[in-house]
Amino acid sequence: MKPKIMVSPSVRDDNPGLLEERLSDIAELVFNTFRGSEDIPSEIKDSEAMILGLEPVNKDVLRNFPKLKIIARYGVGYDNVDVSACTKRGIYVTHTPGVLSHAVAELTIGLMICLSRRLVEADNYVRTMWANKHKKFKLEMGTDLYGKTLGIIGLGRIGYEVAVRAKAFGMKIIYYDIERKSEAEKTLEARYVDLETLLKESDFLTIHVPLTSQTRNMIGEKELRLMKPTAYIINTSRGAVIDEEALCRALKECWIAGAGLDVFVSEPLPFNSPLINMRNVVLAPHIGTYTVETRRKMALMCIENVRAVLMGKTPPNPVPEQRGFVFKR
């Protein structure tokens, strides 16, 4: 009998036929998923591998998968997986670092331009008002990126790619991170500053840290009040890094000029969220990596990790907490 792999249906939908083509020689694929420990379909409980989207995996979920050897996260962030519970059970957790950085950086720059040039409003203006001779509404003027200061929180793989692109636009780069990045400081002329200075000096502020106990709500009322009233905040990391209630107040009461958001505390963003009706925000439905090329590279990396483990080897892309680990099961 071949080992079973549970694959989140969204991974198959992004990559029609790819998983079957690359894995069915060694495994049986089951395209199904769960939302929590209470609703796990019996057909996936004997899976030895999982290719996982954003479903939450905690120790109660793991108890339902006694044969599981690997969770291959289809993405780089793995805040939805309890890694220490997996380690205790000898389950590898892998992710897809690097291959998606360009796509997320492009979206980040896209959100910045949407905000600075009011593209959503401009599109709506052309469709509904521009040709109207009796129009009274005047589109507000935009602002240049050139010469402005971009503050980056988390100058890791994605933050670095954002900085490269922003530099090409003639922006000045400052950053805050728990680690100094001396190479990036040289190549990008990026200046390291503390968080308070970054908040005060940025014209655009973009967040690229992982969601951890240290980064949850790292941007709250106190931090937002330090920002310039003309500044924009962009978040393509994880929603919970920003205190969303404080952000809504900041946007409503104009402590800052606007926000570009790809990620939210609760996804999909509920229709009753105050963000839905705000004109100074641009919203995207968690599409940082949602391009044909990038989703394929992510799937191929998951396939490589799962193949390795099912063939008795160690996976090439373990999460940092499991680097160098070998589980014998």
User: Residue 2 contacts by C-beta under 8 Å, 6 or more apart in sequence?
Assistant: 26, 27, 28
Residues from 135 through 174 that contact ligand NAD (CB under 6 A): 154-159
Output the smallest distance, CB 286 to ligand NAD, in A: 5
Among the options 238, 244, 295, 307, which is catalytic? 238
Nearest residue (CB) to ligand NAD, 158 versus 259: 158
Q: What tokens were used for 49?
A: 């591998």
Nearest residue (CB) to ligand NAD, 23 versus 207: 207
Q: Which residue has the tokens 């969220």?
A: 273
Residues from 181 through 210 that contact ligand NAD (CB under 6 A): 208-210
Helix (H, G, I), strand (E, B) or coil at 205: strand
* Alpha-carbon distances of 115 from 54, 156, 236, 281, rounded to whole Å: 28, 24, 14, 8
Output the smallest distance, CB 293 to ligand NAD, in A: 14
Which region among 5-13, 33-41, 124-132, 211-219 touches ligand NAD (by CB under 6 A)? 211-219
Looking at residue 175, the DSSP 8-state letter turns out to be E
Output the smallest distance, CB 185 to ligand NAD, in A: 13
Residues from 227 through 286 that contact ligand NAD (CB under 6 A): 236-238, 262-263, 286
286 is catalytic: yes
267 is catalytic: yes
Minimal CB distance to ligand NAD: which residue? Answer: 156
Helix (H, G, I), strand (E, B) or coil at 310: helix
Helix axes 101-116, 119-128, angle to 10 degrees: 60
Site string for ligand NAD, 83-102 (x = CB under 6 A): --------------x--xx-
User: Residue 212 contacts by C-beta under 8 Å, 6 or more apart in sequence?
Assistant: 79
Is 53 an interacting residue with respect to ligand NAD (CB under 6 A)?
no
Separation of alpha carbons 300 and 7, rounded Å: 13
Output the smallest distance, CB 44 to ligand NAD, in A: 25
Which region among 27-35, 58-66, 73-81, 223-231 touches ligand NAD (by CB under 6 A)? 73-81
Element (H, E) at 313: none
Alpha helices, H only, 29-134: 59-62, 83-88, 101-116, 119-128
Count how many residues are written for the chain: 329
296 is catalytic: no
Separation of alpha carbons 263 and 272, rounded Å: 16
Is 77 an interacting residue with respect to ligand NAD (CB under 6 A)?
yes
Catalytically annotated residues: 238, 267, 286
Q: Give me the residues that bind ligand NAD (CB under 6 A), please.
A: 75-77, 97, 100-101, 104, 154-159, 177-179, 208-212, 214-215, 236-238, 262-263, 286, 288-289
